[in-house]
Chain A
């Protein structure tokens, strides 16, 4: 591969120009409460603005990305085939190592040990909070949504509703909502876990039965509609849910088992372990579900509902069960959030939260449990780092710009995610080679 040919250099300049344009466009001021024309004027047309717009760090990052993109593009040119061949042993190495069972278990062991001792390395309280609240809880949410979207192939845009139900059920049963607790007897937060998870599952079933007859984008819209209704409803009911201000402070977790008392308190570390235990439990449950009878039925429905029906699978039953199982994990995330941050309010459960969870699932790889877990860790770590330190001229709302671009790029170049599930990968790569008449299928759309 010669990178210095005329064509290749032309491509380099094209890529760099594209990234420079991106750097200029994403470097706008993003002011609050200024008229649009003054915003544009201040960011592009006044000398003082060039300082902000041309921050060197931003530019070096974008140009580095541009050169990286150019290298990757060059690698996929037809004449670079020999290089790709030569690189193949290196790129295939992780896969080859992971194929051996012992290696897999060693890796899992290492991850568990690192996770167990993580609080010893993280000295800042603040980051410990972030790890539990932004990473731990979101791994649970992503794992739950992965069951719905990845396994059963149902695009659910209202997943935050289950998260909300878990959190609000906790607040209700611990008696911090304006509505008195059931039987006027608040219960400890820890005992809310089974109750809230159960409620979330019931709600998943109730939501699923009418909506799951729909397919594809109709289902996405109907779940979105439900999520918006719940969001608005919770926000308006100040007498019931505390409205926009939300609940009072939910008591922290505590445990009284006979002689053994344990109080979680305000230190995030015990929450970390609680969350860790449940992440492991959900990982085990979902992994074993994946290859169980239920999991295979989900995949069958996802691939071809009619065929699945013809071999005796009741689609509605299994779809509803996917909703319920996913809801359980979401509900648990809600309980943990309520116990950890105390005050819960509708902003925690907006429509965007559902989409954010969906992004974790897509980034990691739909249907791949480990991919989703790792993807959630990566995305949530990067986003909380960016949000809290705001480096390189990054602003709080910029995230969605990059995420939007990332989603489009991923859908074009790597739709199966960073760690694709093996089964799913085979299907998606199959789309490119086999399906001759598939365009028609896509264009015509599913009948609702």
Chain B
């Protein structure tokens, strides 16, 4: 098979299954966007990359496993039950992940902030937290893949058709939940008192503390918002793909790529970047050599590297104080 033929056949595949690729891309994009919000908010407020955010996402996934097992047991969710499952799952997983995210902030970042540590220390401490959470999840919940059997939740059920392309339940759920949660987060940051605090701390922490913004509380709330979105994403991801103790790493890097692409520190940039990375990843599947799925990873990481080298401020520019 020649090289040109390979690329042409890739384009052929995209043309024939266009809407399927779009659906998968939007689904993943919504997940990435939800995780990226956490990266971008924390970056805006603290100026550091929260390396442990992928693990916050992973905790949401495990919360989903336990919740589904607790509610359904070996049963099956039908009709309204499944709607209830999704809603309660989002709330529960968001709660758990928010707790984990706050815990990470309290244990790994706050003492460093008190000590005025250099930035390198934050990064290393974040790597430590990420390692710790990943392994402790493996220890407690096992290192294997936790997959939801298809009969527990009909994630892969066809909901409707676009042309001849079946659109599945999970794709619709991810997109809808993603949009709703993103709009909520955007509204909180833009229009509430708390959001004003976040923006103020992002712009100038010292001055805002003089103006009466409680920095510690604002930072905690930032982690709560980011964590709950990541938890909801973890739940939705787990419904379809199952969850494993190290799935946070890969998704975390994708979402981080999304945040960087959109302009880290910029909330809307995170959503835009997430959608772009999701679509890009989905459309690069036909171009994987020998069908090796690693190639989509390579393409995505190439995007990350290229964006960082060429335009590190991303598409919409950084600094949440200014733009969010």
Contacts and interface: CB of A to CB of B under 8 A. Distances in A.
Interface of A: 25-40, 43, 153, 155, 210-211, 213-214, 216-218, 220-222, 224-226, 228-229, 232-233, 235-236, 355, 358, 362, 395, 397-401, 403-408, 411-412, 415, 428, 431-432, 435, 437-440, 442-446, 448
Contacts of B133: 404
A209 to B, nearest CB: 10
Interface string B39-72: 0000101111100000000000010011001000
20 contacts: A28-B140, A39-B140, A43-B140, A210-B309, A213-B309, A220-B49, A221-B49, A222-B305, A222-B309, A229-B298, A233-B298, A236-B298, A355-B127, A355-B131, A397-B139, A404-B131, A415-B121, A432-B116, A442-B118, A445-B48
Interface stretch (B94-102, B142-150, B275-283): B142-150
Q: Which 7 A-B pairs have the closest CB atoms?
A: A407-B128, A445-B47, A404-B132, A404-B131, A36-B141, A33-B144, A28-B139
Centre residue among B124, B289, B297, B308 by max chain A CB count within 10 A: B124
A443 B110 CA distance: 12
A37 B129 contact: no
B135 interface: yes
B165 to A, nearest CB: 29
Given A225-B304, A446-B119, 18 more contacts: A25-B136, A26-B139, A32-B144, A34-B144, A36-B65, A218-B308, A222-B304, A226-B301, A228-B253, A229-B301, A397-B138, A400-B131, A401-B139, A405-B128, A408-B132, A412-B125, A428-B118, A443-B45
Contacts, number: 208
B295 interface: yes
A30 B128 contact: no
Contacts of A38: 142
A268 to B, nearest CB: 30
A155 B123 contact: yes
B143 A32 contact: yes
A238 to B, nearest CB: 8
A413 to B, nearest CB: 9
A73 B206 CA distance: 31
Most buried by A among B47, B65, B107, B292: B47
Contact of A214 (B117, B139, B141, B312): B312
A32 B141 CA distance: 9
B28 interface: no
A25 B135 CA distance: 11
Question: Which among A228, A397, A432 has the greatest number of chain B C-beta atoms within 10 A?
Answer: A228
